[in-house]
């Protein structure tokens, strides 16, 4: 990273990004008796968002300047829905049985407006040092309106065959209805629109848990799932397919907790296969990968060797690749790290009038690829955080109704490491840098 450009802004001077959101929820819980409970939650979410800027920057080897585009998009979104749950605890031939059912209904309306007549890239160029930002110009929007209606019913049952063995099974039936229309900046109608399509997928899962001794639990699961991501309701210019994204997963593992509850660990392994996966190629063009496969193993552990000392850590090893994706078959999807490691420790001084806990954590993320062609790598990075918090008991607070207040101070990325945290494959010339050294002060209270 050229230090002269680390904090240089190549955006237009009149750039603007913002959002207004409102989320309302309400519901009830009704216990018909000790064994049957009904829960309901209704919700409404509304949002208006906008991005108005130069989105893409690329260094031009021929001119030694930064090439830029012009891009804007706005969202007007409303989501309304309702979830109703039934929980029933009973017995089946003397065996404990838990039954759960859910009915979900939702409508998701969203309107996109996107720059429809941008200049061919680059729209302009600016110098690497001391760039003249310039202005956006006159936007000319395309409009896309999408509505996704979802009705889903789920049932799940857990039967405790013996005190050690439980069997779990479930099925989910869904109905998706997607409709879309739009108009281009020049008054023309987009190809293939308007249209309406529906899907009625059925997914299921089966699992068991086995606890031979208290605190040691083995489990395995098989499940399938569907979602309309490939149809691109949230995409400005989606792919042409109307196939659902489907997935199946195998997972198995073991969890253990020591009798004195001072130590615990979890080991799990999984294998996931996803079909028809939405992949962004640019900030306005998407396509589909026919098959994405991933498998991995995760391990997490925590121990308290003495009363006031905590140690914890986890590691995830992942192998992911495209099983069927044109010339990129066999490549690793962008942003997938083959190894992620977290570890931390803390010590609590609880004999003081105001108990204090200090600690730290480190995080290591392995090499990832910036784009699906696997030609550009984001190097591994390691960061460290420090923290300290003090618990102020209610007796020392100005309002005696408070049980406790916790004041926390954190230093994130204490070494001020410069690293590539993430890439958006829709912007293959750019990476998102991780936050620099950051200081954070917070307070929370409980009553």
What pLDDT, in 10s, does the model give residues 88-124?
999 999 999 999 999 999 999 999 898 887 667 888 9
Q: Tell me how far apart the terminal alpha carbons of the chain are, to the nearest angstrom.
A: 48
Per-residue pLDDT at 234 = 59
Dmax over CA atoms of the chain, in Å, equals 80
Q: What is the pLDDT of residues 176-233, one digit of tens each?
A: 998 889 999 889 998 878 888 899 999 999 999 999 999 999 999 999 999 877 555 6
Exposure pattern of 265-292 as b/e (b: 16+ CB <10 Å)? bbebbbebbbbbbbbbeebbebbbbbbb
What pTM was estimated for this model as a whole?
Answer: 0.85
Per-residue pLDDT at 285 = 67
Residue 55 has pLDDT above 90, yes or no: no
The C-alpha atoms of residue 165 and residue 388 are separated, in whole angstroms, by 43
Q: Cα torsion for 297, 303, 309, 315, to the nearest 10°?
A: -10
E strands, 228-285, are 245-257, 263-280
The Cα angle at residue 310 between residues 307 and 314, in degrees rounded to 5: 150
- Which residue, among 396, 398, 362, has the nearest Cα to 380 in the 3D structure? 362
Q: What is the DSSP string of 314-383?
A: EEEEEEEEEEE-GGGTTPPPTT--SEEEEEEEEEEETTSSS-EEEEEEEEEE--EESSTT--SEEPPEEE
The C-alpha atoms of residue 277 and residue 230 are separated, in whole angstroms, by 6
Q: Residue 44 is encoded by which pair of tokens? A: 């409404």
Residue ranges and CATH numbers for the domains of the chain are: 3-362 (2.40.170.20)
Average pLDDT over residues 330-338: 95
| More confident position, 209 or 447 | 209
The C-alpha atoms of residue 417 and residue 385 are separated, in whole angstroms, by 11
Q: What is the DSSP string of 89-107?
A: EEEETTEEEEEEEEEEEEE
Residue 401 has pLDDT above 90, yes or no: no
The C-alpha atoms of residue 367 and residue 351 are separated, in whole angstroms, by 44
Per-residue pLDDT at 214 = 94
């Amino acid at each position: 990273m050229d230090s002269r450009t680390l904090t240089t802004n190549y955006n237009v001077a009149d750039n603007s990004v913002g959002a207004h959101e409102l989320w309302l929820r309400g519901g009830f819980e009704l216990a018909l008796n000790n064994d049957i409970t009904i829960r309901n939650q209704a919700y409404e979410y509304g949002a208006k968002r906008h991005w108005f800027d130069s989105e893409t920057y690329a260094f031009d080897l021929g001119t030694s300047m930064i090439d830029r585009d012009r891009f804007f998009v706005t969202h007007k979104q409303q989501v309304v829905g309702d979830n109703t749950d039934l929980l029933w605890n009973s017995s089946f031939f003397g065996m404990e049985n838990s039954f759960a059912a859910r009915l979900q209904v939702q409508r998701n309306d969203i309107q996109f407006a996107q720059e429809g007549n941008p200049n061919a890239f680059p729209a302009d160029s600016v110098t690497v040092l001391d760039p003249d930002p310039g202005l956006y110009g006159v936007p000319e929007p395309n409009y896309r309106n999408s509505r996704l209606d979802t009705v889903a019913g789920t049932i799940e049952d857990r039967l405790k065959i013996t005190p050690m063995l439980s069997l779990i099974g479930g099925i989910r039936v869904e109905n998706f209805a997607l409709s879309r229309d739009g108009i281009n900046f020049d008054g023309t109608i987009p190809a293939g629109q308007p249209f309406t399509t529906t899907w009625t997928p059925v997914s299921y899962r089966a699992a068991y848990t086995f606890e031979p001794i208290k605190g040691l639990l083995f489990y395995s699961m098989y499940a399938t799932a569907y979602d309309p991501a490939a149809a691109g309701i949230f995409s400005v210019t989606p792919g042409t397919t109307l196939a659902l994204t489907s997935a199946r997963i195998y997972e198995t593992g073991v969890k253990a907790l020591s009798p004195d509850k001072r130590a615990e660990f979890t080991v799990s392994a999984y294998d996931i296969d996803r079909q028809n996966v939405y992949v962004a190629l640019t900030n306005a063009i998407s396509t589909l990968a026919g098959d994405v496969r991933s498998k991995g193993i995760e391990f997490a552990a925590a121990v308290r060797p003495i009363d006031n000392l905590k140690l914890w850590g986890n590691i995830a090893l992942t192998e992911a690749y495209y099983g069927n994706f044109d010339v990129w078959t066999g490549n690793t999807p962008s942003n997938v790290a083959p190894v992620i490691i977290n570890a931390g420790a803390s010590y609590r001084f609880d004999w003081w009038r105001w108990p204090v806990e200090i600690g730290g954590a480190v995080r290591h993320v392995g090499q990832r690829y910036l784009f699906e062609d696997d030609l550009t790598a984001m190097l591994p990075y390691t960061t460290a955080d420090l923290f300290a918090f003090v618990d102020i008991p209610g007796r020392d607070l100005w309002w005696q109704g408070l049980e406790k207040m916790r004041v926390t101070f954190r230093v994130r990325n204490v070494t001020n490491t410069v690293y590539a945290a993430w890439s958006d494959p829709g912007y293959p010339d750019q990476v998102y840098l991780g936050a620099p050294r950051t200081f954070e002060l917070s307070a929370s209270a409980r009553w």
